[in-house]
């Protein structure tokens, strides 16, 4: 049997780990004594994991700092939720409606990603970070001024002023700053799991392809990569748009698992939260992102017993994890404990 290389083994382990976690949680959630808090968090955890994975593609693989990732999530969330609400009568099956909403969310976020990548990808480093930051704010402001209603004649849109006249049986879906106040919850944990698997599949295959190597070459040394004929714009855009589309799907999944969504939810703080997941899990490290996103979503809820010290402890835990995972002594210790890895690195 041909020996699998290290990266392929890590990828397989990541798939296996996700499947195992899903099966265990699925079995646990059958029991009625399963914590209602965790049960309610299963879908958001999946959404945050996908967000972290997609941002890791931009930050870890492409090597560009994006501070507006929640903007793509927002586009996906609102387009997906509006689509699901509009199709409520046309498609009675919630599973099919959810799948369609995810696809619509991904496509729209991808389109927006492509649009903004044109000016953005002329920039590098800090400048790119600033522009993506502005992008997140622009998306928020746009959605806050957007009104959507539906009646028998179809969808009605208006901007700035809610000047929509709806016919018999019509209703407002998106109410500008008030967001969507009655989302029908159709996201399921299984759908979230499938989305994580699809995301992993897309990212792993992209990274291990010719295009992926080109993208990483750009990250490591742009000038050298250009000199050997790598098309900078094309490969940067490829990574950026993929990342945006995945974030859009995650947004749709998230929105359809909530009772209500408002544009302010997807603000700068959410972008930073996702970035914290990625950095904590390790840049370019996909399974690290998965664990960090899941752990940091559960942690604040698990710390509720600590009452007033909850957020303080949360911050301290973040700092401690940051310090320990970056400490060379700890890495050496881990290396000694896992001789397997050492042998791999030597070979």
Partner 1 sequence: MKKTLALILAVVMCVCLFAGCGGSADAGSTPASGDSGSSASAGSAGESGSGSGSTASGAAFKLGGIGPLTGGAAIYGNAAKNGATIAAEEINALGGIQIDLRYEDDAHDAEKSVNAYNTLKGWGMQISLGSVTSTPGVATSVEANNDHVFYLTPSASSTDVLGGIANPLTGTVDIPRKDTIFQMCFVDPNQGSASAQYISDQNLGSKIAVIYKNDDVYSTGVYNSFAPKAAELGLDIVSTTTFTEDTKTDFSVQLNDAKANGADLVFLPMYYDAAALILTQASAMGYSPKWFGIDGMDGILSVDGFDTALAEGVMLLTPFNADSDDARTKSFVEKYQAAYGEIPNQFAADGYDCVYAIYEALNNAGVTDTSLSASDLCDILIEQFTSMTFDGLTGDGMTWGTDGAVTKSPKGMFIQNGVYVGMD
Which residues sit at the interface with partner 1, rule CB under 8 A?
A: 35-37, 39-41, 44, 63, 65, 67, 125-126, 129, 137, 141, 144-145, 149, 162, 164-166, 170-173, 175-179, 181-182, 258-265, 267, 269, 272, 275-276, 279, 300-301, 304-305, 307-312, 314-315, 318-319, 322
Q: How far is the CB of 48 from partner 1 (least distance, A)?
A: 10
Least CB distance to partner 1 at residue 230 (A): 20
Closer CB to partner 1, 231 or 259, in the complex: 259
Residue with tokens 């808090």: 37
Per DSSP, the three-state class of 160 is coil
* 67 versus 200: smaller Cβ distance to partner 1: 67
Burial class (CB in 10 A: 0-12, 13-18, 19+), 153: exposed
Backbone CA torsion sign across 249, 250, 251, 256? positive
Closest approach, Cβ 336 to partner 1, in A, equals 28
Nearer to partner 1, 200 or 253 (CB): 253
CB of residue 170 vs partner 1: minimum separation in angstroms?
Answer: 6
Closest distance to partner 1 from the beta carbon of 45 (Å): 11
- Least distance between partner 1 and beta carbon 127 (Å): 10
- φ/ψ (deg, to 5) at 121: -80, 0
CA angle 279, 284, 290 (to 5 degrees): 65
With H, G, I as helix, E, B as strand and everything else as coil, classify residue 77: helix
Of residues 111 and 298, the one with the C-beta less far from partner 1? 298
Nearer to partner 1, 10 or 158 (CB): 158
Measured distance CA(15)–CA(200) in Å, rounded? 8
CA 64 to chain centre: 16
CB of 210 to partner 1, least distance (A): 25
Spatial CB neighbours of 279, under 8 Å, sequence gap ≥ 6: 59, 322
Element at 305 (helix H, strand E) = none
Which string of DSSP letters, residue by residue, matches 110-133? HHHHHHHHHHHTT--HHHHHHHHH
**Residue (182 or 209) nearer to partner 1, CB:** 182
Give 209 or 259: the residue with its C-beta nearer to partner 1.
259
């Amino acid at each position: 049997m041909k020996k699998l290389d290290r990266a392929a083994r890590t990828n397989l382990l990541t798939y296996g780990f996700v499947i195992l976690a899903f099966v265990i949680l699925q079995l646990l959630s059958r029991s009625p004594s399963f914590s209602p808090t965790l049960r309610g968090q299963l879908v958001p955890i999946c959404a945050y994991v996908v967000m972290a994975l997609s941002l890791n593609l931009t930050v870890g693989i492409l090597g560009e700092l994006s501070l507006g990732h929640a903007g793509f999530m927002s586009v996906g969330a609102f387009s997906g939720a509006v689509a699901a609400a509009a199709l409520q009568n046309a498609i009675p099956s919630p599973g099919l409606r959810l799948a369609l909403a995810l696809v619509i969310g991904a496509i729209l976020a991808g389109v927006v990603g492509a649009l903004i990548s044109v000016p953005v990808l002329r920039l590098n480093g800090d400048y790119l970070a600033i522009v993506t930051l502005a992008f997140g704010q622009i998306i928020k402001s746009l959605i806050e001024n957007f009104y959507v209603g539906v009646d028998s004649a179809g969808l009605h849109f208006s901007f700035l002023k809610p000047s929509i006249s709806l016919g018999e049986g019509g209703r407002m879906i998106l109410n500008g700053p008030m967001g969507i106040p009655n989302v029908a919850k159709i996201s399921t944990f299984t759908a979230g799991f499938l989305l994580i698997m699809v995301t992993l599949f897309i990212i792993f295959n992209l990274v291990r392809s010719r295009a992926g190597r080109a993208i990483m070459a750009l990250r490591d040394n742009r000038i050298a990569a250009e000199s050997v004929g790598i098309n900078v714009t094309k490969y940067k855009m490829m990574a950026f748009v993929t990342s945006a589309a995945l974030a859009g799907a995650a947004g749709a999944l998230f929105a359809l698992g909530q009772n209500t969504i408002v544009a302010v939810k997807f603000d700068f703080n959410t972008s930073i939260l996702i970035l914290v997941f990625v950095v904590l899990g390790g840049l370019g490290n996909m399974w690290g992102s998965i664990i960090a996103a899941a752990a940091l979503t559960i942690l604040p809820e698990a710390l509720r017993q600590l009452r007033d010290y909850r957020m303080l402890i949360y911050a301290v835990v973040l700092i401690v994890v940051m310090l320990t995972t970056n400490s060379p002594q700890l890495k050496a210790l881990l290396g000694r404990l896992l001789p397997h890895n050492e042998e791999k690195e030597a070979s």
